[in-house]
A and B are shown apart, each in its own frame.
Chain A
Amino acid sequence: LASTMTKQQANWSPYDNNGGTCVAIAGADYCVIAADTRMSTGYSILTRDYSKICKLADKCVMASSGFQADVKALQKVLSARHLIYQHQHNKQMSCPAMGQLLSNTLYYKRFFPYYSFNVLGGLDTEGKGCVYTYDAVGSYERVGYSSQGSGATLITPFLDNQLKSPSPLLLPAKDAVTPLSETEAIDLVKTCFASATERDIYTGDKLEIVVLNADGIRREYMELRKD
């Protein structure tokens, strides 16, 4: 009797969650973007060696967690749009410009979203570090640091404690940038992931860290617990 009156529900979902965590921290003249390399589905591990980080422009790197098929599609769309921009303007896109493009791209699919939780990191037009954080449909904000993904709820309070970002409600508006040195920021990121790996089953295996500064882009790796 009850079965005739309930709303019809799909028995197949187009989405899946591949887990993982991403973090980005902006400094005075650098930006650190990091993500773990584990890709899961349900309680299984698909691979221990999958990069969630994508270089979109010379000074702009994106890390995304969520449904990696949608992430891959999103990266392709943004790279293609960047190539077109380069052809039309004869220059690379700046990080704030890419920030806006990502927001618009996500909202374009407002009614069948990219299941992708992104953090965009890079250097702004003045060479200062910038981090933009997004939800799945394109709402975004420039911040001093951010975390997305399955370990975000574990990492964010710790970053709040260590970085004490000024509130966006303060007047006069305070800079959203961290007073840490580059090495300190990298160590902080490593600590965050080591802790998140302990308590989040979807985070682990390896940590990929990308650092952007005036000298260019650098990549480093750190082993994490594999259980």
Chain B
Amino acid sequence: MSIFEYNGSALVAMVGKNCFAIASDRRLGVQLQTVATDFQRIFKIHDKLFVGLSGLATDAQTLYQRLVFRHKLYQLREERDMKPETFASLVSAILYEKRFGPYFCQPVIAGLGDEDKPFICTMDSIGAKELAKDFVVAGTASESLYGACESMFKPDMEPEELFETISQALLSSVDRDCLSGWGGHVYVVTPTEVTERILKGRMD
């Protein structure tokens, strides 16, 4: 079994009209045993920037702590929040530092950049960035998520429709993956507000 499949995870981020949504599953497992059903994989960096970390849970938590630390330093020095594009470069650099002993994480970054333009990207465990205009996926359920998102996505969705689409894509995909599931956690972010919702799906 691969180290990326030790804990199990599913992450997806989608772009809408002047908004974005980022969603994850809630299961934390140790191989086949479920250990937690309320595990948080998506973290807020600032009001318009969220990062989701899939893969090995311990590395996800450590990486998150390091990223929050770096962002706080940035805020002290620059007296402003980091732009999502800049944050993505920071994450990429931090991952590449560990090129020959990497963090076993695949991050998904989503934020509103200049003029509140939605920005999403993912990268592999050593920092290779993949920018996308529509959606990005990560985790053990990534292949299923690719299929579901590719069929269900349409450009310029309003926040309510975006929420429905990302939720349906997430739930259908995790239902075909043994290592992710136990509900979902969805954040929909517009320039004015952040809505956090918990989804109830198949609890297995």
Contacts and interface: CB of A to CB of B under 8 A. Distances in A.
Contacts of A161: 148, 152, 168-169, 171-172
Interface in A150-171: 151, 153-158, 160-161
Interface string A34-77: 00000000000000000000000000000000000000000000
Nearest to A153: B143
A17 interface: no
A181 interface: no
Contacts of A154: 143-144, 146-148, 150
Is chain A's interface secondary structure helix, strand, loop, or mixed overall?
A: helix
A157 B152 CA distance: 11
A160 B176 contact: yes
A157 B150 contact: no
Interface of B: 143-148, 150-152, 168-169, 171-173, 175-176
A192 interface: yes
Contact of B176 (A156, A192, A196): A156
Contacts of B148: 154, 157-158, 161
A174 interface: no
B127 to A, nearest CB: 23
23 contacts: A151-B147, A153-B143, A153-B176, A154-B143, A154-B148, A156-B147, A157-B144, A157-B145, A157-B148, A157-B172, A157-B173, A158-B148, A158-B151, A158-B172, A160-B175, A161-B148, A161-B169, A161-B171, A161-B172, A191-B151, A195-B150, A196-B147, A198-B150
Contacts of A155: 147
Contacts, number: 48
Given A157-B172, A157-B173, A160-B172, A199 B146 contact: yes
A158 B151 CA distance: 7
Interface of A: 151, 153-158, 160-161, 191-192, 195-196, 198-199
A135 B148 CA distance: 23
A191 B153 CA distance: 12
A196 B143 CA distance: 10
B64 to A, nearest CB: 28
Nearest to A197: B150
Contacts of B145: 157
A155 B146 CA distance: 9
A151 B147 CA distance: 8
Nearest to A191: B151
From A153, A157, A161, residue with most partner B Cβ within 10 Å: A157
B189 to A, nearest CB: 24
Contacts of A198: 150
B144 A192 contact: no
A94 B171 CA distance: 37
Q: Which of A151, A156, A158, A195 has the most CB of B within 10 A?
A: A158
A153 B168 contact: no
Contacts of A191: 151
Nearest to A160: B172
A191 B152 CA distance: 10
B123 to A, nearest CB: 18
A5 B105 CA distance: 35
Contacts of B152: 158, 161
Contacts of A195: 147, 150-151
Nearest to B176: A157
A20 B168 CA distance: 26
A195 B144 CA distance: 12
A158 B147 contact: yes
A97 B3 CA distance: 44
A84 to B, nearest CB: 39
Nearest to A147: B147
Contacts of B143: 153-154
Contacts of B173: 157
B146 to A, nearest CB: 5
A195 B146 CA distance: 9
